[in-house]
Structure 1
Amino acid sequence: MFTGAMTPLLVAGLAVFPSTRDDDGVGVSAQPFNYLIWAKEKPRQSSATPAGKKPKVTCSYRRWWYANGLKKVGSADSDQPLSTEQPKEGAWYEVRCSDGSRDIVWIKNQESPRAVRERLARRAYERIPITPPKVLTAPPRGQDGLVGLPHWFYLAEGQWAAKSKRLHAGAIWAEATATPQRMTIDTGDGRTLTCDGPGVAYDTSRPAALQRSTCSHRYLQPAKAREVTVSVTWRGTWRGSGGEGGVLPPITRSATFPIRVVEAQALVTKG
């Protein structure tokens, strides 16, 4: 077990995050499957150490037994190989110090502030309500389109807008944002149409010749029912306390519906 002089070293070492150092010279650095903790030992009144000098004691922490909630202790004198499993709740470590002391101690895993922010961001992202797109067309759905004329596709008002969600864990917070990036249309005739925006709404109060669509398709063959699928892809980002941030996986939502395309009939009369 540790000596009385080493107890403050153990407590201080476990109270900080990896790769840190405080004003008293206590620090810890994390490496795969081990920790290195160091400190300047404070002299006791009965110590024969000359005044003004503080002997430096170095301790190495080597992962001994992996355990998930089980206090399974390995022998410090055996050559039992280390577990290759990733520690979950924590692990047992063999401690060897430069003053000759040794021990086996249980160290619970600590989650860094950044890891907490990332976890909050992912959870917030999952809670953003992103529904399948509400798609409008011209001619309106349910009415026949014509071969050779543009068939318009566009989203209902308010569909093309970023959405955000923020979560807190004490003083730590993270906010996730989903932003629409593109609209992709499987036109049902073997073609794919990609639009960078929500399309332009058709205005029935204006002449057709004065309007232009940014997302339309011309069907060259008639069909009683074509299955059209409109997909909107959202880009995910997050930011959090401490000025950190990052990118989240994209989200895609789709809506499928039928449209009918017919040929225009010409009326021929004899004069």
Structure 2
Amino acid sequence: MKQKGSSSNGTLESRITFSGSTRGGAGASESVTPVGDWTPPACWYEPRSAEEFAKHVEDNYNETVNMPGQANYAKASVGQFRNKYKDGEYENYNLDKKDEGNWWVAVRDEDRWMEPEAQVCDKAPFWVENGDAPPVENAVTPQVLAELAYNRVQLPTTEVTLAPAAATKVNLPTWAWLDKAQFKEVSVTAQLNAGGLNIQATTTAKPVSLKLEPGTAEARTYPTSGECAINDDGSIGEPYVKGKAELDPPCGVQYLRSSGDGAFELQATVTWQITWTGTGGAGGELPDGTFGADQEVTVQEIQAVNR
């Protein structure tokens, strides 16, 4: 899957590709939400060879000036941009230096290009000699790739299994669990091969806990914190089996009043630990992520229950 982006002078397609558990894959899935104020980059800079950059500018110029009804100010703008790199500050797109460096260009996330964060990469295309570091923030690196992959990790839509399943009873502990098969790590790999740069990074999300919020203050959770830790086998909680009705579940909820004619919205939120590895042995941690889903729970008022 390619990432498309845009620049201030014509559409520019990113050279980054993504593979793994990405958006648009088979099956129901949801994006991970970072914990805290951190968000993945909404824009970044990528390298382009002199030939690629020259073709992009020339194609955009010709398309604009030859478009019927195109406004004069638009023609003037692309003309000024073209002149800067063809006959002005630079000479013929530095094609005679094509083996000595690359152009670096701004790219915006196709899903976030209108956000203020996507406008901070506002530096016009600039030349960088081979071996030199681009003098900007968000120049693409393995870590930037990992952060972009974070935004494309898709988690399986997970519904917590409850017992009783159809409807529970007031003061009756309801068991909750997630099987290992439903609750496993996922990963996305981002790769960039452009302008002589070939780097990649893999971002992995590993489930570590499940938090239950009953949807009413008149309830208690198991454990008291509502935070159910992952078991050694990768599952969460424990399936209910006959004969455990009098036991407290390792993960669950107990409602203290009826839901009446409606239902309570039980929210089950999974916390995912996010790590990454990349080219050259780079790697580290990224902010934890969460994904929560609501489930309707009907609670009936029955004083004596046999199960």
TM-score category, normalised to shorter length: 0.5 to 0.7
Q: For 1:65-121, what per-residue CA distance to the aligned partner results, in whole angstroms no more than 9, with x for missing partners?
A: xx9874676xxxxxxxxxxx9872456xxxxxxxxxxxxxx6578549x94212221
Q: For 1:4-49, what per-residue CA distance to the aligned partner results, in whole angstroms no more than 9, with x for missing partners?
A: xxxxxxxxxxxxxxxxxxxxxxxxxxxxxxxxxxxxxxxxxxxxxx
Amino acid at match of 1:193: G
Q: How far did residue 150 of structure 1 move?
A: 1.0
Paired residue secondary structure (2:141): helix
Give the TM-score, by structure 1 length.
0.53
Residue of structure 1 equivalent to 2:177? 154
1:55-204 paired onto structure 2 within 5 Å = 70=84, 88-90=123-125, 110-111=133-134, 115-140=140-165, 142=166, 144-170=167-193, 171-190=198-217, 193-197=226-230, 198-204=235-241
Amino acid at match of 1:124: A
Amino acid at match of 2:207: P
Paired residue secondary structure (2:144): helix
1:227 equivalent to 2:250? Answer no
Instruction: Report the Cα distance in structure 1 between the residues aligned to 2:270 and 2:298, rounded to whole angstroms.
Output: 23
Paired residue secondary structure (1:213): coil
Paired residue secondary structure (2:182): coil
1:216 equivalent to 2:252? Answer yes
Q: How far did residue 211 of structure 1 move?
A: 6.3
Identify unmatched segments of 5+ residues in structure 2: 1-79, 90-119, 220-224
Of 257-266 and 131-140, the range deviating more from structure 2: 257-266
Asked whether the 8 Å contact 1:199–1:213 carries over to 2, the reply is: no
Count of residues in Structure 1 that have an aligned counterpart in Structure 2: 173
Identify unmatched segments of 5+ residues in structure 1: 1-66, 74-84, 92-105
Residue of structure 2 equivalent to 1:102? none
Which structure: larger Rg?
A: 1
Instruction: Report the Cα distance in structure 1 between the residues aligned to 2:282 and 2:140, rounded to whole angstroms.
Output: 11
Q: More helix by proportion, 1 or 2?
A: 2
Structure ranking higher on relative contact order (CA contacts 8 Å, 6+ apart) = 2
Q: How far did residue 125 of structure 1 move?
A: 2.5
Asked whether the 8 Å contact 2:173–2:248 carries over to 1, the reply is: no
